[in-house]
Amino acid sequence: MATTEETAAAATTAAAPPTTTASAPTAAPSTPLPRVPIPPRGVDYRGKLVLAPMVRSGELPSRLLALHYGADLVWGPETVDHSLIGATRRLNPRTHMVEYTRQPSHSYSPANLQSDTNESVIYRLDPSREKNKLVFQLGTSDADRAVAAARFVAPDVAGIDVNAGCPKPFSVLGGMGAALLQTPDKLAGILEALVREITPAFGIGISVKIRLLETAPQTEALVRRLVRTGITGLTVHCRTTPMRPRERAIRGQLRMVRGVCHEAGVACLMNGDVEGRDQADALVDEFGVDGAMIATAAEKNPSCFRSGADGGLAGWQETVEKYLRYAMEVENKIANTKFMLAQMVPGKTAAYKALHQCRSYAEFVQALGHEGMREMARETDRVLGLGEFEVRREPKAKQKNKQQKAQNGQQESKKRKREAGAEAEEPAKRAEVAEPAPVAAPAAVAV
């Protein structure tokens, strides 16, 4: 039997207008979190699963393969500001890729003066397939250099990310990468300069990638300083600087970092032991972050960006074939292609062993059983001067001996010329000296 209160409540509900959703007081709506505005040409990192910046593993063919399998954004490998200042931008007429090139430091040596391939490509991007999806990661330790380098690349990319997490010696010794975690004011100054100079001029956002500090209060203080610079996104690699990839990521500080970012309206991505889209979705829900970044798993099998519902991980044969095709399309450096294939092909297969003997794209397609790409491989070899088209240089020691012999020969030739000249001059000198006049015989003396 209903109580008096229940009957009254039922009557009130029945008498309420149809548009009324509830008769009882409701809680006030929560205040929406602020959001740093996304510039007109920039990208919002929220809801994104992205390819991490990786040296060697983040070159153009790898990025294209990640996008093919569903990556929302791709980071290129860290590129140091010094290498961009004074570089040249060109459009490759064969591939239609944008290439940043510069003269290598040894290009003026006698061995290279006769070559027409002195320029080296320091960065390559696809202006069509990577449009609105490529984030350029910048290695820097100086605000002015960072701005100068960013001005050079900004028209071609959707965002610029400052590397403040790489622990590798080449980065840390230059005051870049993880070294910036120890100089938060310098790091903040670099970000502020980029936000001030690059965002209004080019309409793209600035972000930063960091690692955890030793304690949560230290990390919190750093993040609070960085989110006040005007950045649109922050990625936290859930490892400290001394930790290596084989050590499991630690996520105890992740909710705190996300909370600080959200208070300032900055998107927060997580990185570290994220192995695929389905796992990334679960981690985003668990920790409340805005998205995730995949590194090692994408290096081995870029189809990790594909959800289980869409097919999940592809077999290595499929990913390797697609990677090889992309590599040839963009004229990727053979050494980088070989490195990446070695990551993707299982180590116990016959194909893996055969890879180490390959020196050209034609040999790659043969070793991997992709005979249908033979002509494409041969043309790529011709353009890059590989395999049957390679002009082999003699070993340095042998080349040095030949140069020494040539120098000795030149010196010997000069010596012979000097000696021949001296011999030719001697008769001439003798001819110039007057012969003494003959002395007349004395007259006969009469007896």
Among 259, 280, 313, residue at a domain's last position: 313
Residue 154 lies in a domain: yes
DSSP 5-16: HHHHHHHHHHHS
For CA atoms 349, 351, 357, 361, give the dihedral sign.
negative
Answer yes or no: do 284 and 385 share one domain: no
* Residue pointed to by tokens 């082999």: 392
- pLDDT at site 182: 95
Q: In angstroms, rounded to a whole number, what is the distance separating the alpha carbons of residues 404 and 397?
A: 10
Vertex 421, ends 415 and 422: CA angle to 5°? 90
Answer yes or no: do 260 and 347 share one domain: no
Residue 365 lies in a domain: yes
Answer yes or no: do 293 and 319 share one domain: no
Answer yes or no: do 237 and 94 share one domain: yes
Instruction: Give yes or no for a contact between 367 and 354, defined as CB atoms under 8 angstroms apart.
Output: yes
Tokens in use for 84?
Answer: 């961009």
Q: Which of 365, 372, 348, 367 is nearest to 356 (CA)?
A: 367
DSSP H helical ranges for 16-157: 60-68, 81-84, 143-153
- pLDDT at site 40: 97
Give the active site residues: 166
Residue 410 lies in a domain: no
- pLDDT at site 53: 97
Answer yes or no: do 144 and 284 share one domain: yes
The per-residue pLDDT for range 186-243, each reduced to its tens digit, is 999 999 999 999 999 999 999 999 999 999 999 999 999 999 999 999 999 999 999 9
Answer yes or no: do 121 and 133 share one domain: yes
Who contacts 284 (Cβ-Cβ below 8 Å, separation ≥6)?
270, 290, 291, 292
Q: What is the CATH number of the domain that holds 100?
A: 3.20.20.70
DSSP 335-377: HHHHHHHHHHS-TTSHHHHHHTT--SHHHHHHHHT-GGGHHHH
Among 278, 313, 348, residue at a domain's last position: 313
Expressed as residue numbers, the domain containing 368 is 315-402
Q: For the chain, list residues with pLDDT below 70.
A: 1-30, 105-118, 393-400, 402, 421-447
Residue 286 lies in a domain: yes
Residue 347 lies in a domain: yes
Answer yes or no: do 298 and 385 share one domain: no
Return the beta strands (E) in 52-153 as ranges.
Answer: 73-75, 79-80, 88-91, 98-102, 120-125, 134-139
Answer yes or no: do 225 and 82 share one domain: yes
* Residue pointed to by tokens 């994104």: 48
Q: List residues bridging with 100 in a β-sheet.
A: 89, 123
Answer yes or no: do 260 and 177 share one domain: yes
DSSP 3-state assignment of 102? strand
Who contacts 71 (Cβ-Cβ below 8 Å, separation ≥6)?
49, 50, 51, 133, 294, 298, 302, 305
Answer yes or no: do 219 and 328 share one domain: no
Answer yes or no: do 165 and 238 share one domain: yes
Residue 55 lies in a domain: yes
Residue 182 lies in a domain: yes
How many domains is the chain partitioned into structurally? Answer: 2
Among 287, 313, 339, residue at a domain's last position: 313
Tokens in use for 402?
Answer: 């030949």
Residue 27 lies in a domain: no
Q: Which helix (H) or strand (E) holds 206?
A: strand 205-212
pTM of model > 0.85: no
Answer yes or no: do 355 and 372 share one domain: yes
